[in-house]
Structure 1
Amino acid sequence: MTRIIAGAAGSLPLAVPSAGTRPTSERVRESLFGALEAADLIRDATVLDLYAGSGALGLEAVSRGAASADLVERAPRAASIIERNVRAVARSLPGRRLTVHRAAAEGFLRAAAASFDLVFVDPPYDMPDAEVEATLGLLVPRLSDEAIVVLERATRSGDPALPDGLVVDRAKKYGDTTVWWLSPADAGAPPQPSVESQSA
C-alpha cells in the first residue's frame, strides 16, 4: 500500500495506477523527505512533481508543509488517480493549492510562467538520457534561485547528463534506484557530488 508518510495528511492511503508507472518506494520517500526536512527545504515551498504517477511525492511535500504542488502527468489513467488522491488529501491540507495538469512534462514546462522551489523529476527508467536532459533544460528557467531538483533514475543508468544551468549537489543510492539532488549552477565551478549508498 502507498500512503502519505508524515505531516498533516500522514498515514492517508493513496491509490496507485495498476500499470505504466513505477511508484517511489516508501523507504526511499521516507529517507528523501527526512533529508529535505532536515535542510528546511519543504516548508512553504512551491513544489512541482513531474511524471507524477500517483502524485505521492508532491502530496507528501504538501502534507509536510509545502505551500502548493503542481502535479504533471500525461497518462490519462494516472492523471485520474492523481485527481482522486488530491480529493482524498485536500481536506487535511486547508489553504494549500493542489493542481493536476494532464500534460507531458515538456509541454507543461514550455507553457509555465511560475517558478518553483522544489521539483521532483521521476521519469520512467527506460526514458532515454537525452530526453531527460531536454526536460531538465526546459526546467532551468522555471527554478527559483535556491531551488532543489530531486531526480530519480535507475542506478544502472550512471551519472545523469545535465543541461547548462544545473549542477549535482549530492546523490544517494538505494539499490536499483539513485536519487540525485540538483541545484541551479553558480558562477563558480560546480561542486563535486557526494554519493552515498543504502540498501534497498
Structure 2
Amino acid sequence: MTRIIAGRWGGRRLTVPTGDGTRPTSDRVRESMFASLNSLLGGFDGLRVLDLYAGSGALGLEALSRGAVHADLVESHAKAARTIQRNVKELGAPAEVHAVTAQRFVDEESGPWDLVFLDPPYAVPSAEVEALLTALRPALDPDAVVVVERAKRDPFDWPDGFEGLRDKAYGDTRLWYGH
C-alpha cells in the first residue's frame, strides 16, 4: 500500500500500477526524503514540481499535499500513466500527467521547476540519467533541488552544472540531493 504521508492529503491511499513495471518508493524512504527536502528547501509552499518516471505519482503528489502549487508527472508506461491520472483526479490535485518518455518531456518542455524527482527504473544506465539531467538543467530554477533515486550499487555522479548536497542509503536504495 502506498499512501500520502503528510499535508492536506496525509493518510490517503494511492492506487499503484500492478505488475513489476514500477518500483514504488517505500513510505520510510519517502518520509526521510521529504524531511531532508524540507530542511533543504525551507518548506514546499509555492513550489513547481517535476516527477520524472512518476510510477504512481506518489512523490509529486506528496509534494503537492505539503504545499507545492503544481506538479508535472511524467510516465511513459500507458497503464501507469492512467493510474497516476486516477490518483490526481481522486485527490483533485493541481497536476498534469504526461504519458511520454522522460527524455521527450525534457526535450519539449521549458519549466521552470523548483523541485525535481528523478526515479528511473534501476535498469536505466547511470550515463542515461546523467545525460537527462544535463538536458534538464536549463529548465530549472537557479535554486532548484533535484533528488535522484538509484540502486545503492549503481554509480552516480552529478553532471557539470550541478552540485551534490548530500546522499543517503536506505537498504538497497540511495538518494542523491543536488542543485
Shorter-chain TM-score: which interval?
A: over 0.9
**Other-structure match for 2:46:** 44
Cα distance in 1 for residues equivalent to 2:164 and 2:37: 15
Moved more, 21-30 or 123-132: 123-132
Equivalent residue runs for 1:71-82 within 5 Å: 71-82=73-84
Cα distance in 1 for residues equivalent to 2:143 and 2:27: 27
Cα distance in 1 for residues equivalent to 2:135 and 2:102: 9
**Other-structure match for 2:136:** 139
Does residue 1:162 correspond to 2:158, yes or no?
A: yes
Cα distance in 2 for residues equivalent to 1:99 and 1:78: 14
> Matched residue pairs, number?
177
What percentage of aligned pairs have identical amino acids?
A: 53
State which structure, 1 or 2, has the greater radius of gyration over its C-alpha atoms: 1
Shift >2 Å, 4+ stretches: none
Tell me how far 1:41 sits from its aligned partner. 4.2
3-state DSSP of counterpart to 1:43: coil
Tell me how far 1:137 sits from its aligned partner. 1.0
**Other-structure match for 2:22:** 21
Does residue 1:66 correspond to 2:62, yes or no?
A: no
3-state DSSP of counterpart to 1:85: helix
Cα distance in 2 for residues equivalent to 1:181 and 1:162: 10
Equivalent residue runs for 1:180-191 within 5 Å: 180-183=176-179
Cα distance in 2 for residues equivalent to 1:37 and 1:174: 18
**Other-structure match for 1:110:** 107
Tell me how far 1:105 sits from its aligned partner. 0.5
3-state DSSP of counterpart to 2:122: coil
Unaligned runs of 5+ in 1: 184-200
Conservation of the 8 A alpha-carbon contact between 1:41 and 1:118: no
**Other-structure match for 2:167:** 171
Tell me how far 1:175 sits from its aligned partner. 1.2
Tell me how far 1:46 sits from its aligned partner. 0.5
Cα distance in 1 for residues equivalent to 2:90 and 2:143: 31
Unaligned runs of 5+ in 2: none
Cα distance in 1 for residues equivalent to 2:144 and 2:130: 17
Moved more, 147-156 or 41-50: 41-50
RMSD between aligned alpha carbons?
1.0
Q: Deviations over 1:70-129 (max 9, x none)?
A: 000010000000000001111xx5xxx210001100100111022100000000011111
TM-score (norm 2): 0.95
**Other-structure match for 1:194:** none
Does residue 1:124 correspond to 2:128, yes or no?
A: no
Tell me how far 1:163 sits from its aligned partner. 2.2
**Other-structure match for 1:2:** 2
3-state DSSP of counterpart to 1:61: helix
